[in-house]
A and B are shown apart, each in its own frame.
Chain A
Amino acid sequence: MSQTIKLTLNIWRQAGPNASGQFQKFHRDAVSKDASFLEALDEINEELIQKGEEPIAFDHDCREGICGMCGMVINGMPHGPRTLTTTCQLHMREFKDGAEVWVEPWRATAFPVIKDLAVDRSAFDQIIQAGGYISINTGSPGDANEIPIPKAVADLSMDAATCIGCGACVAACPNASAMLFTSAKATHLGVLPQGQAERLSRARAMVETMETAGFGGCTNHGECEAACPKGISVDYIARLNRDYLKAVVVSQTT
């Protein structure tokens, strides 16, 4: 255990949202193969701090792949080379000894850089605030077992609900579209009986907010699904498109 590798890391440094950025090179002689990618950055940061230099800013929190806070483009791939893996769960043994690694923030108009590798993803929250919910107040909604839901429907809803909102789908998309994220939420709620009443209005509100927030449209590249650490399926996009079209048609004919 604790074998080490040599790495050259080229890391994007950008002082603030309006500053111009550039790559900074770090030669690392002994990176533990058991370290996670973020732990390798921690180690660089401690050295930078000891020298009185500003450490590399990056978002992270749970470090177990569920909170969705971490995310960086590693060698051109959101969350790096291992499929179905968030950056925090990526380990240095995935890299060859002597490799050169390029690390950049998510790049999308709707995700402005805050500093270095940290970006502002509040546009995702705006999409949810526009309609990504079932309108129900806290109170007495009736017994939970009143409406049986076929297991297959509940499972589909759960599949879609596992999205962690990290934004890798946007970073991977040539159009920086948020359709995978938006359609996952629309599917999670839209297939459940509880979510039917608002299904069309929800689809419309979320898609329109997605567009005004600065995300691009979907042109079926499928890069999003490949980059998604939770394996969210592009099939949901077709579902959302159907609901969105229906919503637009319904509003024009009534």
Chain B
Amino acid sequence: MELHSNAPTGPIETAWDRHRFEMKLVNPANKRKFTVIVVGTGLAGASAAATMGELGYNVKAFCFQDSARRAHSIAAQGGINAAKNYQGDGDSIYRLFYDTVKGGDFRSRERNVYRLAQVSVSIIDQAVAQGVPFAREYGGLLANRSFGGAQVSRTFYARGQTGQQLLLGAYQALARQVGLGQVELHERTEMLELILVDGRARGVITRNLKTGQIDTHTADAVVLATGGYGNVYFLSTNAKGSNGSAAWRAHRKGALFANPCYTQIHPTCLPVHGEGQSKLTLMSESLRNDGRVWVPKNAADVTKRPQDIPEADRDYYLERKYPAFGNLVPRDIAARNAKDVCDEGRGVGYPPEREAVYLDFADAINRLGQHTIEERYGNLFEMYERITDEDPYKTPMKIYPAVHYTMGGLWVDYNLQSNIPGLFVAGEANFSDHGANRLGASALMQGLADGYFVLPYTIGNYLARAGRDLAKTPVAEDHADARSAKAEAEGRLKAFLDNPGSHGPDHFHRRLGKLMWEYVGMARDKAGLQKAIEEIPKLREEFHAKVRVPGSGASFNQTLEKANRVADFMELGELMARDALAREESAGGHFRVEYQTEEGEARRNDDDFAHVAAWEWTGKGNTPTRHVEDLDFEYVKLSQRSYK
């Protein structure tokens, strides 16, 4: 299979403009004749659904939560990047583009990233017009901060709740279209299957989670904006309901899954406290601006109270190894170093694993006073105290890395269309713009860029060009392909309900998570990945044989929802391991122990792996096929990241 990015050639600065001009338009009067389905109502989904509704298309939007406002975009804390250069500190569209390609360790498509940087400025204008209350200076203009090690202040924020405020903006735009009758919104409704007719995406099979009713929704185009798959690891900073099922169902129908091994591990999360733990909480990495990371020099000291360990016996390992960047090294480096010191037996977390390191504010409090620290991080300190019952003003925080974001996702071209015509993928669900590592404050930017400013154009172009074909083959709910998709979904649910079983889905999900964290986690090697590829299918078989789902399918049944999602994680986890095994290099969030520099840093292999790996489903029990899209770097010179 040949993969074409369909990105325009010629000068990158005008590529998107030229591409838009070459698009066919849908006559305003004809827009209402087209139905577009949007699955997911986070930043990407809500913004796409609202905008498509405003343009006059019939839109059907779906979310599994009880309200569109709850999508997990809401939890993003730090901010959103945009190349406004309001601070006059040297930022530009080109610099944001450059930083994003470099930060992604040269594994993203230049033209997509350039467009992202271009539309970033429009996102801020749009959000402000909607009433998003970004932080402001006393003069009334928008405030910015530097974030995640960026050398310019390009991050816009709304306290520590930027994701919440941007999502509410998009949710309100969507609610307006619902009120106007332009969008039909289905809450508590989950996609079970994709409907393909003549190779095109023509609808979805859904389950109403309240009543259990399974319905067929047909359409002219389908958008998946269903988020990432970090919950493969069971413990992550994702919401409990976040899942990879919509993407996985599309993958099983032929959509390629790109770079599944690229996982972002966030360095500053609360450590695991015990077996019953259900989720990991992220603490904004802005804490590293003032906190100093350390562990005891001697493993024998790990059981001592931190205040009893004298300065001379502490190892501020980030400051020691990276004197230039110190505690502010990028996420992947901070995370991996925490793992290394814990692997050496110097971790200070809860026994028996003891996986945690100290983040100490004592120096900052001495230097700046408690008041300043309280002003900067008060809400975070309070959250920490609430969860751990320890006062971080008095004793150092304990932190440990956790799975946070997945850069991989369904393969899409420049139009955000998958290899299935009519199936578009947006936000974290696609693989596109972050390469092997996403920069802080760029997830919100990408979700909204896709939904507000890319899809409304590219879907229009698709409908204008395919309109005649689509009109010739109207797909009714009882179309044979829709019926078979529905039967497939019903069969899957019935199998869970009929299974005698012994344990709930969480029992198996936890075990999958442990396998993934151990073998496909922060540092991977060949033997471990092969072990994962051996063990996951065994666990999957055990899961299907022993999972127990009480209750019926014709009612609110959260165990059934969970079992169905875990079944897909069991397959997706294996693909992640296969992708990690095949990528014989280290890049961004993918660190292979065998491929590192003498200094222990990630070593890319640009000769053999400057490409996107896109996997094709070849049937149950078969080895998937790896396809390749080569990446060209015309503008940004490939170089080795160095933070020494």
Contact = CB atoms under 8 A, between A and B. Distances in A.
B141 A145 contact: yes
A136 B129 CA distance: 7
Contact of A49 (B72, B273, B350, B504): B504
Contacts of B550: 48-49, 52-55
Q: How large is the interface on B (under 10, 10 to 19, 20 to 34, 35 or more residues)?
A: 35 or more
A52 B386 CA distance: 35
Nearest to B548: A49
Given A46-B503, A194-B129, A125 B175 contact: yes
A85 interface: yes
Contact of A144 (B69, B124, B179, B504): B124
Interface in B100-153: 122, 124-131, 133-142
Contacts of B503: 46, 49-50
A68 B134 CA distance: 21
B614 interface: no
Given A50-B504, A63-B240, A128 B172 contact: yes
Contacts of A148: 136, 139-141
A61 interface: yes
Interface string A128-146: 1111111111111111110
Q: How large is the interface on A (under 10, 10 to 19, 20 to 34, 35 or more residues)?
A: 35 or more
Contact of B278 (A39, A59, A138): A39
Nearest to B502: A50
A118 B556 contact: yes
Contacts of B136: 148-151, 154
A121 B65 CA distance: 11
A143 B137 CA distance: 17
A174 B141 CA distance: 42
Given A50-B548, A194-B128, A64 B279 contact: yes
B187 to A, nearest CB: 6
B389 A93 contact: yes
A165 interface: yes
A63 B237 CA distance: 9
B70 interface: yes
Interface string B410-421: 000000000000
A213 interface: no
Nearest to B452: A138
B507 A69 contact: no
B172 A132 contact: yes
Contacts of A16: 555-556
Contact of A125 (B47, B68, B122): B68
A43 interface: yes
B66 interface: yes
A161 B502 CA distance: 45
Interface in A149-166: 149-151, 154-155, 157-158, 161-162, 164-165
Q: Which among B54, B140, B185, B506 has the highest number of chain A CB atoms within 10 Å?
A: B140
Interface stretch (A29-37, A216-224, A233-241, A243-251): A29-37
21 contacts: A1-B273, A16-B556, A43-B276, A45-B504, A49-B549, A61-B241, A68-B67, A82-B386, A114-B556, A129-B175, A134-B130, A136-B173, A141-B129, A144-B127, A144-B129, A154-B135, A154-B140, A158-B135, A158-B165, A162-B164, A194-B128
Given A55-B558, A141-B129, 7 more contacts: A2-B350, A39-B276, A62-B75, A133-B176, A134-B129, A138-B54, A165-B70
The 10 closest A-B pairs by CB, nearest first: A148-B140, A141-B129, A133-B172, A49-B504, A129-B179, A158-B133, A144-B128, A157-B133, A138-B51, A61-B239
Interface of A: 1-2, 16, 32, 34-36, 38-40, 42-43, 45-46, 48-50, 52-55, 57, 59-69, 82, 85, 89, 91, 93, 114-115, 118, 120-122, 124-125, 128-145, 148-151, 154-155, 157-158, 161-162, 164-165, 188-189, 192, 194-195
